[in-house]
């Protein structure tokens, strides 16, 4: 269960964030933001086809409490449940700390806090941490290539 929580934290951490630069986005930066908008849609709707589209075939994900995950295992764990089927509601606060482009590669550093409240009325789980995502542009489109995050439970 903790792995699924961390996976969801990653998804939300990179998905609906606003760039802090305040300036005009170049086309690659906009494409990266569009990728993560699609990723958010895929995960919030449980859309595996769209999730697969966002992830490179040779992608690897590194999350606390699990061994490295490939495209299929990560997409299934992250986008395999529709909001109606999920036993939780989510409250996310995420901020992009840095977005850098290097030709056909980019990285994105985010800070995220996540509150997962069980629909059955049990106590909420609070998590926080950072993520570092590496993106690769292949055949004219950006995809998630590598990702590591430190999202973990917060003790109150």
DSSP state at residue 21: S
Rounded Cα distance, 46 and 10, in Å:
15
Rounded Cα distance, 74 and 51, in Å:
9
Which of 122, 51, 55, 53 minimizes the C-alpha distance to 89?
A: 122
Q: What is the pLDDT of residues 32-59, one digit of tens each?
A: 878 877 776 776 677 778 888 888 999 9
Which of the four pLDDT bands, split at 50, 70 and 90, describes residue 24?
low
Q: What is the pLDDT of residues 125-141, one digit of tens each?
A: 999 999 999 999 999 99
Domains in the chain with CATH codes: 2-153 (3.10.450.50)
Global pTM reads 0.75
- Is residue 14's pLDDT more than 90? no
With beta carbons less than 8 A apart as the criterion, state whether 87 and 120 touch: yes
- Average pLDDT over the chain, rounded to an integer: 79
């Amino acid at each position: 269960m903790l792995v699924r929580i961390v996976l969801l934290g990653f998804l939300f951490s990179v998905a609906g964030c606003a760039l802090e630069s305040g300036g005009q986005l170049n086309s690659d930066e906009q494409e990266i933001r569009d990728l993560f908008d699609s990723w958010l849609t895929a995960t919030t709707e449980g859309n595996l086809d769209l999730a697969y589209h966002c992830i490179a075939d040779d992608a690897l994900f590194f999350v606390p409490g699990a061994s490295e995950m490939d495209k299929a295992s990560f997409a299934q764990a992250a986008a395999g449940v529709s909001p109606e089927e999920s036993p939780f509601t989510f409250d996310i606060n995420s901020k992009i700390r840095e977005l850098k482009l290097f030709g056909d590669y980019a990285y994105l550093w985010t800070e995220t806090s996540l509150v997962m409240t069980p629909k059955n009325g049990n106590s909420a789980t609070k998590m926080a941490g950072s993520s570092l995502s590496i993106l690769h542009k292949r055949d004219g489109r950006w995809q998630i290539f590598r990702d590591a995050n430190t999202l973990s439970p917060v003790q109150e």
